[in-house]
Amino acid sequence: MLKEYPLNRVFTLIEPGPALLVTTAEGRKKNVMTITWSLAMSFSPTFGIVTGSWNHSFDTLMKTRQCVVAVPGVDLIGKVIGIGTCSGTDTDKFKKFSLTARKAKEVEAPLIEECLYNMECEVADYVEDHGIIVLSCLRAWENPDRAERRTFHAVGDGTFVADGEKFDLRKEMASKLPPL
Ligand SMILES: Cc1cc2nc3c(=O)[nH]c(=O)nc-3n(C[C@H](O)[C@H](O)[C@H](O)COP(=O)(O)O)c2cc1C
């Protein structure tokens, strides 16, 4: 069961730079791609992803101006790599990787039930020279039922790191943090 996640906490899902899944939909055809180039930009629910026309998802994203950005746990790492190494042009990736699509509230692109978090987004800007798509999050969801809570991060050379020890320095940096 998905539980609504507060918009003013959405930046904390992106700032640590986890591997992401981005879903899109054009008519009844849904698709999903892997993104590890992402950018937290402010405390507001706005962030960037980097992609381009070599991906089928990019065309749909530019056409529909909508997507869902989902944060998978490390238990999905094999699927995330598989999703990022085939294309929606010839593959139904939801079927191939046994992902459960759930209806979003604000966008046509589907939520992914198996992910820890899902962010319903619209395209706010496109910085073409750098392939940066700026996304505004309209609504976010958490799946509190997933047992594996660790996200994972791409090093960029085909190796990955899962979340490790957590350090709480909230008191020390309180002057730089928005209220919880
Ligand atoms: C680990 C991993 C990370 C990736 N990160 C990005 C990324 O940040 N930006 C991007 O454009 N493509 C990235 N890709 C490639 C796309 O996910 C890939 O081209 C995908 O097949 C596109 O699917 P589509 O054609 O169905 O849109 C990544 C792939 C993998 C395996």
What are 17-28's pLDDT values in tens digits? Answer: 999 999 999 999
Ligand 1 centroid from CA 9, angstroms: 26
**Does the beta carbon of 154 lie inside 6 Å of ligand 1?**
yes
**Boundaries of every domain in the chain:** 3-176
Residue 43 pLDDT greater than 90, yes or no:
no
**Does the beta carbon of 37 lie inside 6 Å of ligand 1?**
yes
Structure tokens, 144? 């509190």
How far are the Cα atoms of 24, 127, 132 from residue 51, in angstroms, in the given order? 13, 11, 7
Structure tokens, 102? 């759930």
| Cβ–Cβ under 8 Å, residues 118 and 20 | no
Nearest one of 83, 107, 20, 26 to 59, comparing CA atoms: 26
| Cβ–Cβ under 8 Å, residues 153 and 118 | no
**Does the beta carbon of 64 lie inside 6 Å of ligand 1?**
no
Number of residues assigned to the chain: 180
Q: Is 131 left (phi over 0), alpha (psi -120 to 50) or beta?
A: left
Ligand 1 centroid from CA 172, angstroms: 37
pLDDT for 19 equals 97
Kindly indicate whether the domain formed by 3-176 is annotated with CATH number 3.40.50.300. Answer: no
| Cβ–Cβ under 8 Å, residues 112 and 21 | yes
User: What's the mean pLDDT in 106-129?
Assistant: 98
**Does the beta carbon of 18 lie inside 6 Å of ligand 1?**
no
Nearest CA to ligand 1 atom 4: 35
**Does the beta carbon of 23 lie inside 6 Å of ligand 1?**
no
pLDDT for 31 equals 98
Alpha helices in the chain (DSSP H): 11-14, 56-64, 77-83, 93-96
CA distance 34 to 169: 31
The neighbour count for residue 12, using CB atoms within 10 Å, is 12
From 31, 50, 55, the mutation candidate for ligand 1 (largest count of ligand atoms within 8 A of CB) is: 55
Read off the pLDDT of residues 63-117 as tens digits, 9 standing for 90 and up.
999 999 999 999 999 999 999 999 999 999 999 999 999 999 999 999 999 999 9
pTM above 0.85, yes or no: yes
Q: Is 24 exposed, middle or buried (0-12, 13-18, 19+ CB in 10 A)?
A: buried
**Does the beta carbon of 77 lie inside 6 Å of ligand 1?**
no
Nearest CA to ligand 1 atom 15: 84
Phi and psi angles of residue 175, each rounded to the nearest 5 degrees, phi first: -65, -15
